[in-house]
Structure 1
Amino acid sequence: MNAIAEAIIAEPARDGLARPLRDLRLSVIDQCNFRCTYCMPREVFDSNYRFLQASERLSFEQMLKLVRAFVALGVEKVRITGGEPLLRRGLETFIERLAAITTLRGAPLDIALTTNGSLLAARARGLRDAGLSRVTVSLDALDDAIFRRMSDVDMPVARILDGIEKAQAVGLAPVKVNAVIERGVNDSQILPLVRQFMNSDIAVRFIEFMDVGGAAGWSNSTVLTARDMRAIVESEFPLIAVDDSDGSATSVNYRIANGQGTVGFIASVSQPFCGKCSRARVSADGQLYTCLFATQGADLKPWLGETTSSEQLIDAINTRWHTRDDHYSELNADRRRSGQRKTWPTVRMSLVGG
């Protein structure tokens, strides 16, 4: 191991704004079986859309080399994303190999997965047995009509709820449910979602509608702020603030006073949290993105071949992270508040994950 890698073991990599590298979001596939209107609208992602071919995606062997390099730089959590990651064949075997990796502190690697839940019921036990730590399920509505309209697929909500139940039953805990809320579209679903999970150990998190990826129809008028969402919840359920120790967490969490559930709010538009962002994102084709609002990535594939050493890969990632100064949400807060639409082509969400 070279001098840079040895130094990193004592001090995790930090970017140009002194933010540590702690979390890796790894997209394993850019395809999805949903066509959510805010992520992969069908008018863009139709039958003629060209997704990555299998030969264009990183192999699991390349991804393992990649994860080990990120762990050497201080990463402690890996979140597997997509697209819909459960569409990638052999995922359980990949997770099993990931689970053998330990962090710089000697702890097991924290492995999470984000899914739309449609394939989760049949896979939950296998994922847990492979070493998956926890799962987050995207569910924007309990009402079938609203759910079908937002996901643009003919699938009942009951199928997603079954996946959540199975995940909880096999011990993929904590299970989290994420709901992207659009004003006038599914804001009526906030209270039903809280009621659905309030007497369980499942955390429900409400996310402000962001102007990223496929959200071509975004405008300030479509954003229901976290403050307003919290007011809706508190109109029926008193909330008690939770003192979270994770300084890089994106969600501000509350405990329901008369239940055992947790409700969180992610104010990514109204209260940007760029200053504590510790996340790197790698797309299914090996591009490193240091911000969800990035317009281009850094290609890591040249360092993922068998003839390239792990130390060279570590150096390449460290160099890119060291020059990172992204804080797009903070810089564009005034533009968003004025109601201006997105004017630059951010990387598509299905390629890099959320």
Structure 2
Amino acid sequence: MTVWDGPVVDKFGRVHRDLRISLTDKCNLRCSYCMPPEGLPWLAKENLLTTDEIERVASVLARLGFVEIRLTGGEPLLRRDIVDVVARLSRIEGPEGPLRISMTTNGIRLDRVMDQLKEAGLQRLNISLDTVNPARFAELTRREKFEDVLAGIQAARDSGLRPLKINAVAMRGVNDDEFCDLLRFAQEHEAQLRFIEQMPLDAGHIWSRVTMVQGHEILEKLQAEFTLEPVGERGSSPAEVFTVDGGPTTVGVIASVTAPFCGACDRVRLTADGQLRNCLFAREESDLLTLLRSGGSDEDIAAMLRATISGKRAGHGIDDPGFLQPDRPMSAIGG
């Protein structure tokens, strides 16, 4: 038996088919729940994965049965060669055909490159928007970029790529009075809304289980104004999804803290500086960058991935008394 034989399976029987690649740790917003106003110490340029390296890793994983790549950040649109990255990845084929390429973005600059990204092979977009109040957006993100995000969402809507999803982090005392407004906004823009419980991935390590908005609270607020009906089995999807007033709009809740979906997780993450992570909340990483730059073969890459997945825990352990928040913030890990 070789490293190429069979799917990538952990010791709990979970087959891994989804790769999240962070293209940069930099972001053009300074969301208060993510990073301080002055930003963070950015990764050195020479330590970032090159496009050739990203393409090589993706080719190996496609051969191992991975079918989807989600490009994240930081903010992936800050990568100058983002269109080339998408084009190269979308041409990679595995046993089940070409890789499916999606992206999570804050939407800033999206209107300038949307047509090019679609032509390059991008198939799906998730756009982050935590508030539809311009003044609140400026306060939360510490940037006057609300109109830029709206332009990006409009460009995504006009592109025809579906499903178009809007992600909103639910925060008590910040946007918990806007949940219904956010859902109406999604309906107006032909988007599917996904609320996310705030997770312990902030740079300042000030997250609090006591103050976080829980998934059931989100649903209770929405049900005061909308009729929600559950949508079938979620599979490996992180969201519990509901149709809104009979559809076609759906709303989902990603309750990573209070209702974790670890039992069906099929994801592995690659940071912008080439570290493999088998869980968003992992405290251990596998140094793929050094392997790539020291002459490692494709077999070596495959073996490292299998070893990384083999060490994956049953769950992220947020509810465990001994849980420790990862040293890296979300902007450095990639969403």
The answer to which of 276-285 and 67-76 deviates more is 67-76
The DSSP-based 3-state class of the residue aligned with 2:85 is helix
2:26 equivalent to 1:31? yes
In the TM superposition, residue 296 of structure 1 has moved relative to its aligned partner by: 3.1
The DSSP-based 3-state class of the residue aligned with 2:130 is coil
Could you say which residue in structure 2 is the equivalent of 1:332? 318
2:331 equivalent to 1:350? yes
Residue-by-residue CA offset, 1:74-132 (whole Å, 9 max, x unaligned):
21110001100000111101111111112322x22110000011111111111111101
Give the letter aligned to residue 90 of structure 1.
Answer: D
Matches within 5 A, 1:163-182: 163-182=152-171
Could you say which residue in structure 1 is the equivalent of 2:304? 316
In the TM superposition, residue 215 of structure 1 has moved relative to its aligned partner by: 5.5
2:175 equivalent to 1:189? no
Distance between the aligned counterparts of 2:210 and 2:325, measured in 1? 19
Residue-by-residue CA offset, 1:220-273 (whole Å, 9 max, x unaligned):
2321111110111110010121124x5110001111125521111111111111
2:50 equivalent to 1:59? yes
Report if the CA contact (8 A) 2:154-2:189 is conserved. no
Could you say which residue in structure 2 is the equivalent of 1:69? 60
Distance between the aligned counterparts of 2:17 and 2:182, measured in 1? 31
2:226 equivalent to 1:240? no
Distance between the aligned counterparts of 2:207 and 2:29, measured in 1? 19
Could you say which residue in structure 2 is the equivalent of 1:230? 219
Report if the CA contact (8 A) 1:69-1:314 is conserved. yes
Matches within 5 A, 1:280-299: 280-299=268-287
Give the letter aligned to residue 104 of structure 2.
Answer: T
Distance between the aligned counterparts of 1:256 and 1:308, measured in 2? 50
Could you say which residue in structure 2 is the equivalent of 1:154? 144
Task: Give the superposed CA RMSD.
Answer: 1.9
2:209 equivalent to 1:211? no
Give the letter aligned to residue 211 of structure 1.
Answer: P
Report if the CA contact (8 A) 1:25-1:282 is conserved. yes
Unaligned runs of 5+ in 2: none
Distance between the aligned counterparts of 2:134 and 2:210, measured in 1? 25
Residue-by-residue CA offset, 1:142-172 (whole Å, 9 max, x unaligned):
011221121111222x321221111121122
The answer to which of 144-153 and 344-353 deviates more is 344-353
The DSSP-based 3-state class of the residue aligned with 2:243 is strand
| Identity among equivalent pairs (%) | 36
CA spacing shift, 1:6–1:167, aligned 2, 3 Å: same
The answer to which of 168-177 and 25-34 deviates more is 168-177
The DSSP-based 3-state class of the residue aligned with 1:198 is helix
The DSSP-based 3-state class of the residue aligned with 1:222 is coil
**Aligned pairs, number:** 335
Report if the CA contact (8 A) 2:201-2:325 is conserved. no
Distance between the aligned counterparts of 2:85 and 2:141, measured in 1? 28
2:221 equivalent to 1:221? no
The answer to which of 305-314 and 73-82 deviates more is 305-314
CA spacing shift, 1:168–1:270, aligned 2, 3 Å: same
Report if the CA contact (8 A) 1:184-1:222 is conserved. no
Report if the CA contact (8 A) 1:141-1:193 is conserved. yes
Could you say which residue in structure 2 is the equivalent of 1:303? 291
Please, what TM-score do these two structures have when normalized by structure 1? 0.89
Could you say which residue in structure 1 is the equivalent of 2:108? 118
Q: 1:268 aligns with which of 235, 256, 273?
A: 256
CA spacing shift, 1:307–1:217, aligned 2, 3 Å: closer
Report if the CA contact (8 A) 2:281-2:325 is conserved. no
Please, what TM-score do these two structures have when normalized by structure 2? 0.94
Report if the CA contact (8 A) 2:257-2:318 is conserved. no
